[in-house]
Amino acid sequence: MDLGMGGKTALVTGASRGIGLAIAQALAAEGVTVVGAARTVSPDLASAAALAVATDLSTREGATAVVERAVAEVGGIDFLLNNVGAGDPEKLSLGGFLEADDEQWQAIFGLNLFSAVWTTRAALPSILQRRGAIVNISSINARVPAGSPVGYAEAKAALTQFSKRLSEEFGPQGVRVNTVSPGVVASPLWTDPAGFGGRVAEAFGVGHDDLLKGIPARFGIASGRVTEPAEVADLVAFLLSDRAANIHGADHVIDGGTLRAA
């Protein structure tokens, strides 16, 4: 499907792998000039993006600097994809509330909420001028916190409300803001034995491969499988396009039917 996005520009955060990389690749295939930002630039990102920037998006300076560079080198920003999130698995406690220290809360909120705040604040002047669009990648954990590291669901819930605030304020000025909330996605977060999925497997006392095979049943996924990164990317691309011109302030769940309530 030609979404009519050729000639537009996009900044994608957390773009080196997983959902972010899939978004960068999908937009590039639609003719969008993509600036991809990540702490480490992967070869795949370097191939997909017109400009790949290594930066620490968990800091105000890193988030602001990548926007400034994008505006300077590609002429402005039509689309902003605040995708960076989760955190370093080895630094996240899988225990309960009393086991999560202040550093965990601060690190999770810095990466999953404030990165989007800082990036959006810096990018909005350009997006407003171009009457562009923003998509924030949240999570179904914003609605169902159990099973996620303490602080993660809370940060994603705040991110979802941040999207709604932006939509209400800037929708009348021609900027569309929406949220995409995936369930479990077959990204390195889960598929990498050294990632979060490996930590969960260790906590459950099962092999990593067995954990992955059992996720649909364990999470009650109605479709019987986890979501692929490309499926999330296709949804994001549609929401950015003019085909979604009257979709404002909505939270779009893509979880294979994990959530049982609307």
Q: What is the pLDDT of residues 72-123, one digit of tens each?
A: 999 999 999 999 887 666 667 777 889 888 989 999 999 999 999 999 999 9
Could you tell me if residue 240 is inside a domain?
yes
- Cα torsion through 16, 29, 242, 51, rounded to 10: 50
Could you tell me if residue 259 is inside a domain?
no
What is the predicted pLDDT for the residue at 184? 87
Could you tell me if residue 171 is inside a domain?
yes
Q: Which two tokens stand for residue 192?
A: 């990498």
Residue 139 has pLDDT above 90, yes or no: yes
Could you tell me if residue 193 is inside a domain?
no
What is the predicted pLDDT for the residue at 90? 65
pLDDT band at 17 (very low <50, low <70, confident <90, very high): very high
User: Residue 126 belongs to what domain range?
Assistant: 9-184+228-254
- Cα torsion through 103, 109, 114, 115, rounded to 10: 90
What is the predicted pLDDT for the residue at 89? 63
Helical packing angle, 102-109 and 152-170, nearest 10°: 30
Instruction: Look at 236 and 206; give whichever has higher pLDDT.
Output: 236
Instruction: Look at 88 and 207; give whichever has higher pLDDT.
Output: 207
Could you tell me if residue 119 is inside a domain?
yes
Question: Among 114, 118, 152, 190, which one carries the catalytic annotation?
Answer: 152
Could you tell me if residue 170 is inside a domain?
yes
Please confirm, yes or no, whether 255 is among the known catalytic residues.
Answer: no
**pTM metric for this prediction:** 0.93
Could you tell me if residue 219 is inside a domain?
no
Dihedral over Cα of 165, 168, 170, 175: its sign = positive
Cβ atoms < 10 Å from Cβ of 73: 13
What is the predicted pLDDT for the residue at 253? 96
**Mean pLDDT over the full length of the chain:** 91
* Domains identified in the chain, total number: 1
- Cα torsion through 248, 71, 24, 117, rounded to 10: -50
The enclosing domain of 161 has a CATH number of: 3.40.50.720
Could you tell me if residue 92 is inside a domain?
yes
